[in-house]
Amino acid sequence: MGKTSEQPLLSCRNVTKKFGSLVAVGDLSFDLAAGEVLGIGGPNGAGKTTLFEMISGQTTVTSGQILLDGRDVTRDSAVRRCHAGMARVFQLNTGFDSLSVRDNIRVAAYYGRRNRIMPGLGFSAEVETAVDDALERVGLVGRGRQSAATLTVIDRKLLMIAGALAMQPKLLLLDEPVGGLTHREIDQVAKVVAEVAASGVTVVLIEHVMRFLVQLSTRVMILHHGRKLYEGSATGLAHDPGVVEVYLGKEAGRDVAAMAAGKAEGMVRHAF
């Protein structure tokens, strides 16, 4: 099967996840082109994290198909999908408190390596280079020896992103990367993600912080009860009556409209 330029990097086709009688994600289909930043929003329990679980292979689909680069990965293990180019940052902080910042990223880089033929032989130069690159991309250079247990909330989030980057993914899945951060910290993470996207990594991010979602996304998808409530531009989002009613509310809808307009003028970072 030849790869064409129109072939999506990721395709979800009629993906469904049921937990007993609860349909967490229902018959959801969308394509993602290489280079896009897809922002996913929606109320608590909408099925956003469950969608990531299915894409990254942490859980099975009840039905439907997931394709990466045109290849059906629906039945592949999480590690296989990782080696095929997917990396995921979890909603809750993961990471090893007993390890240094550098060792945390090393573990991720090692896990993400395609050819782990002889484990136990120590870390290769390739891993060390990937770790250095990841530390630099998130702005944690010089912090490698620090214990992960002593990191602040923002630095932990950056560490998690660094671990994913050290896997050198083509598709990066970020689940609420700025939850609980201050405005200034949100801007810091936004800058990191924008630079990652600019370097050619395709990004899917889940986020409730609309400023972050609008600022970074080339396309937005809003889920509600496991189904697509909206898919399109950030500008259209603010004017969609369903989204305003179910998710944003009138006041936040006006804010999002202003943000989207500001983004079009390249003003978001200064205006909010």
Ligand X SMILES: Nc1ncnc2c1ncn2[C@@H]1O[C@H](COP(=O)(O)OP(=O)(O)OP(=O)(O)O)[C@@H](O)[C@H]1O
Tell the smallest beta-carbon distance from residue 156 to Mg ion (Å): 18
Distance separating alpha carbons of residues 216 and 49, to the nearest angstrom: 19
From residue 11 to residue 30, the character string flagging contacts with ligand X as x (rule: CB under 6 A) and all else as - is: --------x--x-x------
Q: Are 54 and 81 in contact (CB under 8 A)?
A: no
Q: In angstroms, what is the minimal distance from the CB of 128 to ligand X?
A: 35
Minimum Å gap between C-beta 28 and ligand X is 12
Encoded tokens for 185:
């910290």
**Contacts of 251 by beta carbon, 8 Å cutoff, 6+ apart:** none
Number of chain positions touching Mg ion (CB under 5 A): 3
Q: Are 73 and 80 in contact (CB under 8 A)?
A: yes
Contact window for Mg ion (CB under 5 A) among 42-50, 80-88, 103-111, 180-188: 42-50
Min dist. Cβ of residue 54 to ligand X (A): 10
What letter would DSSP give residue 100?
Answer: B
Q: Which is nearer to ligand X, 15 or 131 (CB)?
A: 15
Name the residue nearer to ligand X (CB basis): 48 or 263: 48
Decide: is 224 part of the binding site for ligand X (CB under 6 A): no
Interface pattern 45-74 for ligand X (x via CB under 6 A): xxxxxx------------------------
Choice from 11, 49, 56, 74 touching Mg ion (CB under 5 A): 49
Element (H, E) at 48: helix 48-56
Q: Site mask, ligand X, residues 161-180, x = CB under 6 A?
A: --------------------
Q: Please tell me the number of Cα atoms within 13 Å of 16 on its side-chain side.
A: 11
179 binds, among ligand X, Mg ion, none (CB under 5 to 8 A by kind): none
Cα of 204 vs its chain's centroid, Å: 4
Three-class secondary structure assignment of 188-227? HHHHHHHHHHHCCCEEEEECCCHHHHHHHCCEEEEEECCE
In the shown chain, the binding pattern of residues 109 to 128 toward ligand X, with x for contact by CB under 6 A and - for none, equals: --------------------
Q: Give the 3-state secondary structure of residue 150.
A: helix
Q: Which residues bind ligand X (CB under 6 A)?
A: 19, 22, 24, 42, 44-50, 91
